[in-house]
Structure 1
């Protein structure tokens, strides 16, 4: 049973999330990867362990174009897979409609070739879904799976996509950052609205830089203008599963906790001992964040832990 994975390509570079999706999809059968991007991205996908073949197509990244291209390729595959990312949420519903298939989305575990586990009720419960359709359209939560290794050398084939988009891309606005990608980072430092201002949030960024971590924020902090939109963590932001999550001045609203439930270790820095984030944390530092965080940074630097 063969699998076609839609690769994540950002500004011409293959996203680290693709290796995670390939690792998950490999449980279902031989994996081919469709790469909508330049040859360099296709070559990077070919190096992922478990990839049988790369289908390269340096064309538009617009959703209707991509869904049309995958529809053309779909006849050769039982599983059509994407990450549960912005791209996947744009492409997969269109593809499912074209194929008249009910998709199974946001999968966090695979029990069998037709049984999948996905979160419901803002992550408060997990449901097991049986998909008895002849073809399966799926999205995986990349943060729930370890990435596949490298070292492969799969062949790369070029696919000419004849599908034309009805839309025109006017402009793309990007936020430049030298921090790790939030969706796949092993360490994440995040701040809440209690930080108090955009200037105060620089303290969160400094701690993140010291640890070589990605920086995140709650929705309230983003709405207040303390942090950019692409730092938002939670049900309406990015779903993450780092090895270490440091929550600074975050109370732990249900929507935020839904986005970090895969974190392996949680450190909470908070003045409220009864905050929900404190109750689920592995380590809690209770006190004023403006006193604790500078002390923590100074101690990390004293120990030589500086990235």
Structure 2
């Protein structure tokens, strides 16, 4: 896979240089030149108004996700109490759902969980899935993963949010692997792209020196773990 410049058409406008996230394009003698560090991501092809940048990379087709609806929050509970991060995620999920015109659903696993439904709905969930069984009283990786994945496959949510707690950091990658979905870990901000209507997930990168915003266009559900304490719970209804 290669990217090349048709020099006769290039006017040295610098648009491709500015767009390249890898610093793989330079202007030499008034024309763009592709360097060896090019990854063939194709962004330069998209921004070149002169039609001077070409690529033999076949564009990846975005699947039809019209059957994916709903923003899910995997609510974490310990010792009969909901973790605050679950309420924080419900508050953010409500904001995202308003932009997408989708429902907010909470998923809680454990033993004798029926009492959590009312509180979760007070904080923004329009629907609660409660997996209630003695075997789920304490966190077990295999059991929790199996239950959550079966619910995802049956009800097909668009977005799944999980707190970046010890439990969430163990559970989320297991789920994403099993349902073949991307996962962005330790997010500090979530938003919706106004044009594409996809989840934008922002997290620290390179030791916290920069903030990276990640989008998942090619698989569903869109999954993210979110650091506790960075978002505010919604006002209880």
Normalised-by-shorter TM-score class: 0.5 to 0.7
- 1:188-227 matches, cutoff 5 A: none
Match of 1:31 among 104, 108, 121: 104
Aligned: 1:92 with 2:166:
no
Match of 2:223 among 133, 137, 144: 137
For residues 184 and 160 of structure 2, the distance between their equivalents in structure 1, rounded to whole angstroms, comes to 11
- 5+ residue gaps, structure 1, are 152-307
Aligned: 1:62 with 2:144:
no
Query: Given that residues 36 and 57 in structure 1 are in contact (C-alpha distance below 8 angstroms), is that contact kept between their aligned partners in structure 2?
Result: yes
- 1:236-275 matches, cutoff 5 A: none
- Name the structure, 1 or 2, with higher relative contact order (CA <8 Å, separation 6+): 2
Q: What do the CA deviations read for 1:245-274 (whole angstroms, capped 9, x no partner)?
A: xxxxxxxxxxxxxxxxxxxxxxxxxxxxxx
Quote how far apart the aligned CAs of 1:123 are.
Answer: 2.2
Larger radius of gyration: 2
Quote how far apart the aligned CAs of 1:83 are.
Answer: 0.7
TM-score by length of 1: 0.46
Quote how far apart the aligned CAs of 1:120 are.
Answer: 1.5
Quote how far apart the aligned CAs of 1:124 are.
Answer: 2.5
Match of 1:19 among 69, 87, 104: 87
Aligned: 1:81 with 2:161:
yes
Cα gap change, 1:19/1:96 in structure 2, threshold over 3 Å: closer, same or farther? same
Q: What do the CA deviations read for 1:73-123 (whole angstroms, capped 9, x no partner)?
A: 113211122011111111111101101122111111123233221111332
For residues 109 and 70 of structure 1, the distance between their equivalents in structure 2, rounded to whole angstroms, comes to 24
Quote how far apart the aligned CAs of 1:2 are.
Answer: 0.5
Corresponding position of 2:122: 47
Query: Given that residues 71 and 158 in structure 2 are in contact (C-alpha distance below 8 angstroms), is that contact kept between their aligned partners in structure 1?
Result: yes
Secondary structure of 1:51 counterpart: coil
Query: Given that residues 78 and 134 in structure 1 are in contact (C-alpha distance below 8 angstroms), is that contact kept between their aligned partners in structure 2?
Result: no
Corresponding position of 1:114: 199
TM-score by length of 2: 0.59
- 5+ residue gaps, structure 2, are 1-68, 98-102, 193-197
Query: How many matched pairs?
Result: 150
